[in-house]
Amino acid sequence: MSLLRVTSPHVSGQHQVSAVMRDVLFATLPGIIILTWFFGPGTLINILLGALVALITEYAVTALRGQNPRIAVSDLSILVTSTLLCIALPPYAPWWLIVLGVIMAVLLGKHVFGGLGYNPFNPAMVGYVVLLISFPVQMSSWATPRGLAEVPGLLDTLRHLFLPDTIDGVTAATPLDLLRQNTGLLFKDLIASRPELTGWGGVGWFEVNLAFLAGGAWLLYRRIFTWHAPLAMLAALGLCALIGYDGGSSESGGSALFHLFSGATMFAAFFIITDPVSSAVSNKGRLIFGALIGLLIYLIRTLGNYPDAVAFAVLILNFCAPFIDHYTQPAVYGTRSND
Amino acid sequence: MTHHDRSLNGSPLMSSPSFQQLTLNGLWKNNPALVQLLGLCPLLAVTASTVNALGLAAATLFVLIVSNTAVSVIRTIVSDTIRLPVFVMIIAAAVTVTELLMQAYSYELYQILGIFLPLITTNCIILGRADAFARKNAVPVALYDGFIMGVGFGAVLVLLGAIRELLGTGALFADMQLLFGPSAAAWRWQVFAVDYPFLVAILPPGAFLVTGCLIALKNQIDTSLERRAQAKAAAPVAGSKRVRVTGSIS
């Protein structure tokens, strides 16, 4: 029997933290499966190792902070953080990279600020950025997709994880890297010149993005988040790409379809920027939040030097979210606006 | 200093603090870097290695001693209204001397520290100690305060530099020849081998992270010390009616 006094509306809450987190974890499955199909079991191993480290770290930190570690672990939020981070990490990354990244995400991203619900920055992206600026070489070597090279088996993956020197990793530049390194080829010719670039977002990448789009659509259907931030981000990114396409010249920033379906676009749109804690709160705020992330992703992708732009764009806008909230605060029902 | 001056400061007549108090203040209780959080700009910017930190620590220490002493010497002559420009002139003169000295004796380090040497002039610790302490105290006390505050600041600076160097390169005391002559080149101590340096420690974010951890560590030590002191103090009081109202309990 519940003795809590509550006011209306008396809606039974399905949106408990653990239920939301479970849904998010389910929604990443299609993306993880497609990633595993195209790039081998690297991502899968990343996620398992990351989850183990995340649970241990979370348990230890909450126990140290005098909280109930069992409750903290059982809300699954830490598994979402580690899973999102590990999806973003390159497959076949050395084990210490994953361990360090997850620990940084849990400590620096989450608990330094007070734990679940208090983090101003997306913890997974904090972990990612710490790794990216510390170990740029390891972080920018992505695996070669199926069809262009043999995809490693499970045994090879494990061996590579703990003894990275025993076999040569099959790494290749991602489509985004290829586009950035392009000097002098027309966009059309660049696509034709590299087998990795066939399809709309590069081999494998298009399918991966579709899978995350599907997972995200399911989350939207489940009303885990609203459409505002993802749509604004995709629209802004697409619009910027259209403007920067430059008729497909050698200076082209790439086509809109390419930007929408390559790299981490869909993953970011539906799984990263929809974090309820670190994003803007109101619907109008989320539109602005998402659109600015889309703009920044395009700018950093075309002008910057990093493998993908999502992490930096998200962190910068996380920083801006309180300001956006300040200027987009909805009027309280019944009041008149002052202006 | 006249009685009128003192009442202007809003502080009651007080005797100058003992050297022991000054030491405890500068090194721990009121540490410029960890408690007052002054001079963070150089603290964060030049502590990527031990030698840089040591160089800046020495320069700041020197300037602090000179400025505190000079301010204390002229404290009865300079009127309150123009004291700040006068103090800044003194500090700037001391910084210029330091800069020229470093240019003469450790030119490479002078180049590495770059803008952060002249910027010592604007380091809040120095003006802060001049205005808050040196102008109200006699020369020996002011001199010692400058010295111990400089040591407290420098200790944190060097510790920060050492931690970041260790995390970022796995080594300690690299490039000491910049400060101590060619024979110090052999001081470099590779603590552990690093295949892939943890770059973030050397980059600016690392400065913030390590500083935050140091401050947290200090607060943690203080809290546990306080708790222990309370436990100690609480025990004998039980059953007794005597209450201690003066002095500090340590």
The minimal CB distance from B198 to the residues A108, A112, A134 is found for: A134
In the structure encoding, which two tokens stand for residue B81, read together?
A: 């209204």
pLDDT of residue A10: 62
Residue B33 and residue B156: Cα distance in Å, rounded? Answer: 7
Closest-CA distance, B198 to chain A, in angstroms, reads 5
Q: How many CB atoms lie within 10 A of CB A320?
A: 14
Residue of A nearest to B169 (CA): A134
Q: Is the pLDDT of residue B150 over 80?
A: yes
Residue to test with chain A: of B164, B169, B196, most A Cβ within 10 A:
B196
Sign of the Cα pseudo-torsion (B179, B183, B189, B193, in order): positive
Asked if A130 lies within 8 A of B203 by C-beta distance, the reply is: no
Residue to test with chain A: of B194, B200, B203, most A Cβ within 10 A:
B200
Query: Mind listing the pLDDT tens digit for each residue in B82-130?
Result: 888 999 999 999 999 999 998 888 888 888 888 888 888 888 888 888 8
Residue A128 near residue A134, CB atoms below 8 Å: no
Per-residue pLDDT averaged across B168-183, rounded? 75
Residue of A nearest to B208 (CA): A108
Asked if B196 lies within 8 A of A133 by C-beta distance, the reply is: no
pLDDT of residue B245: 61
- In the predicted model, what is the mean pLDDT of chain B? 80
pLDDT of residue A32: 93
N residues, chain B: 250
Closest-CA distance, A108 to chain B, in angstroms, reads 9
pLDDT of residue A3: 60
In the structure encoding, which two tokens stand for residue A115, read together?
A: 């734990």
Indicate the pLDDT class of residue B17, thresholds 50, 70 and 90. confident
Q: Is the pLDDT of residue B169 over 90?
A: no
Residue A109 near residue A126, CB atoms below 8 Å: yes
In the structure encoding, which two tokens stand for residue A305, read together?
A: 């030097």
Residue B1 and residue B15: Cα distance in Å, rounded? Answer: 13
Q: Does B217 touch chain A (CB under 8 A)?
A: no
Asked if A135 lies within 8 A of B199 by C-beta distance, the reply is: yes
Question: Which residue would you say has higher pLDDT here, A321 or B8?
Answer: A321
Q: Does B203 touch chain A (CB under 8 A)?
A: yes
Contacting B with CB below 8 Å, chain A residues are 108, 112, 130, 133-138
Query: Mind listing the pLDDT tens digit for each residue in B199-249?
Result: 778 788 888 888 888 888 888 888 898 899 888 887 665 555 555 566 655
Give the CA-trace dihedral at B77, B82, B86, B88, to 10 degrees: 150
Question: Which residue would you say has higher pLDDT here, B72 or A194?
Answer: B72
Describe the crossing of helices A123-134 and A310-327 by its angle, rounded to 10 degrees.
140
N residues, chain A: 339
Residue A129 and residue A113: Cα distance in Å, rounded? Answer: 17
pLDDT of residue A252: 79
Whether the model clears a pTM of 0.90, i.e. scores above it, the answer is: no
Query: pLDDT tens string for chain A (339 positions)?
Result: 556 565 666 666 656 788 888 999 999 999 999 999 888 888 899 999 999 999 999 999 999 888 888 888 888 899 999 999 999 998 888 888 999 999 999 998 999 888 888 999 999 999 999 998 888 888 887 888 877 777 777 777 777 777 765 555 567 778 888 887 777 788 888 888 877 777 777 888 889 999 999 999 999 998 888 999 999 999 999 999 999 888 777 777 788 888 898 888 999 999 999 988 899 888 999 999 999 999 999 999 888 877 678 999 999 999 999 999 999 888 788 877 655
| Burial class, B182, CB count within 10 angstroms (exposed 0-12 / middle 13-18 / buried 19+) | exposed
Bond into A9 cis (ω within 30): yes
Residue of B nearest to A132 (CA): B200
Q: Which positions in chain B touch A130 (Cβ < 8 Å)?
A: 200, 205
Residue ranges of domains in chain B: 20-216
Q: Does B174 touch chain A (CB under 8 A)?
A: no
CA distances from A206 to A47, A266, B196 (A): 21, 10, 32
Strands B189-190 and A142-143: what pairing? unpaired
Query: Mind listing the pLDDT tens digit for each residue in A256-272?
Result: 888 898 888 999 999 99
- Global ipTM: 0.71
Q: Is the pLDDT of residue B10 over 50?
A: no
Size of interface A-B (CB pairs under 8 A): 19
Q: Is the pLDDT of residue B146 over 60?
A: yes
Asked if A135 lies within 8 A of B205 by C-beta distance, the reply is: no
Q: Which positions in chain B touch A108 (Cβ < 8 Å)?
A: 209
Indicate the pLDDT class of residue B5, thresholds 50, 70 and 90. very low
Asked if B196 lies within 8 A of A137 by C-beta distance, the reply is: yes
Query: Mind listing the pLDDT tens digit for each residue in B22-38?
Result: 888 888 888 877 887 87
Q: Which positions in chain A touch B198 (Cβ < 8 Å)?
A: 134
Diameter of chain B measured on Cα atoms: 68
